[in-house]
Amino acid sequence: MSEVLDQLRIRELIPHRYPFLLVDRVLAYVPHESLSAVKNVSANEPFFQGHFPERPVMPGVLIVEALAQAGCLLSQLSHDHDGKGERPLYVLAGVDNARFKRPVTPGDSLALDIEVEKTRRGLWWYRCEASVDGNLAASATIMSAPG
């Protein structure tokens, strides 16, 4: 689908809020298949005060969280409404094979690319990559489950 999701729509789908909402925009998605999103990394991010003041680097755990939020957005967007018109909230259930290839710093636009690897019994597995200017910054296999 070519629908772009802005902050308002993203906040309707997941409960995260500043400073922990780490997806700024969904650029495209195909239900049950893939999602592309972006996190614009600002020098004003609160974590840069301590990580690290003299050489700010986005913590790897927050890159993984951004990927997990993008994956959960894909699950939310893919899920058919139940009889009550409600979707389950998908939460992070596992991270495997996390690898970090380059630092993410203020001013970077972090591209979040999610592909569904498989689904089973309500669980979703995604192949995830985060990149900056086409250069891989991090990758992981992430699992989510309805919470």
Q: Does 106 sit behind a cis peptide bond, omega within 30 degrees of 0 on the bond before it?
A: no
Residues in contact with 75: Cβ distance below 8 Å, sequence separation at least 6, in sequence order: 90, 124, 144
Q: Which is the catalytic residue, given 16, 32, 51, 81?
A: 51
Per-residue pLDDT tens over the stretch 10-36: 999 999 999 999 999 999 999 999 999
Q: What is the pLDDT of residue 87?
A: 77
Report d(CA 31, CA 16) in Å as an integer: 21
Q: What is the pLDDT of residue 25?
A: 98
Per-residue pLDDT tens over the stretch 34-44: 999 999 999 99
- pLDDT at residue 141 above 50? yes
What is the rounded (10 degree) CA torsion for 98, 20, 144, 107? -40
Q: What is the pLDDT of residue 83?
A: 45
Q: What percent of the chain has pLDDT over 70?
A: 94
> Which domains does the chain carry?
7-146 (3.10.129.10)
Q: In which residue are the tokens 């893939």 written?
A: 34
Summary count for the chain: helices (H), strands (E): 2, 6
Q: Does the annotation count 51 as an active-site position? A: yes
- pLDDT at residue 82 above 90? no
